[in-house]
């Protein structure tokens, strides 16, 4: 697993901005971290209740991250076109990254191998990467229970503040 103090594995994936169905552009982590601390919030699947709760908790506290000049991204194996629709449906105020080929979830060891016993997806996880590309916070869900997303968001915000 990627852990605190490790160099964050670099990757390039499609970024869904949410302005339209085809609002896509490439995203490269090493380019993004130069702009400030970066939060990567992995989630299993768009349009599901737990993932919606997770992303909406971030949405509702985005001002706390903006105050720290932090960038926040959701990341899943969903196709970016679906992510764009989900962003619009839930009024999410941050972009989504599409690991459609499952490379990033394996690099970060955040793999849920059998969602509903059928498909490999991202495990619920959050990483904070500082401007040097070093992981300063790492959390991966253990077991089947979701955390209190408001508490997790507060913990991530504190980690971003420390990463500055």
Out of 39, 40, 51, 72, the active site residue is: 51
Q: CATH top-level class for 12-163?
A: alpha beta
Residue 16, phi then psi, degrees to nearest 5? -95, 120
Q: How far is CA 132 from CA 19, 36, 69, 163, in A?
A: 30, 9, 15, 10
Q: Which residue has the tokens 């690991």?
A: 99
* Active-site annotation holds for 56: no
Q: What pLDDT score was predicted for residue 35? A: 92
Range from 65-79, 119-133, 149-163 carrying the lowest mean pLDDT: 149-163
Question: Quick one: pLDDT at residue 125?
Answer: 95
Q: What is the chain's length? A: 164
The pLDDT, as a whole number, for residue 83 is: 97
Contact in structure between 153 and 146 (CB atoms under 8 Å): no
pTM of the model as a whole: 0.93
Domain layout of the chain by residue ranges: 12-163
- Taking the alpha carbons at both ends of the chain, their separation in whole angstroms is 23
Residue percentage of the chain with pLDDT more than 90:
74
């Amino acid at each position: 697993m990627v852990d605190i103090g490790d160099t964050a594995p670099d990757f390039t994936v499609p970024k869904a901005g949410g302005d339209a169905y085809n609002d896509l552009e490439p995203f490269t982590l090493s380019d993004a971290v130069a702009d400030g601390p970066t939060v990567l919030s992995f989630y299993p699947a768009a349009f599901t209740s737990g993932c919606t709760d997770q992303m909406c908790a971030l949405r509702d506290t985005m001002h706390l991250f903006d105050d720290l000049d932090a960038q926040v991204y959701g990341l899943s194996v969903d196709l970016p076109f679906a992510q764009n629709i989900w962003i619009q449906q839930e009024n999410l105020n941050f972009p989504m990254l599409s690991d459609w080929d499952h490379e990033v979830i394996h690099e970060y060891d955040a793999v849920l191998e059998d969602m509903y016993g059928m498909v490999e997806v991202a495990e619920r996880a959050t990483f904070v990467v500082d401007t040097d590309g070093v992981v300063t916070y790492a959390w991966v869900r253990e077991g089947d229970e979701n955390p209190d997303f408001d508490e997790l968001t507060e913990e991530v915000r504190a980690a971003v503040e420390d990463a500055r």
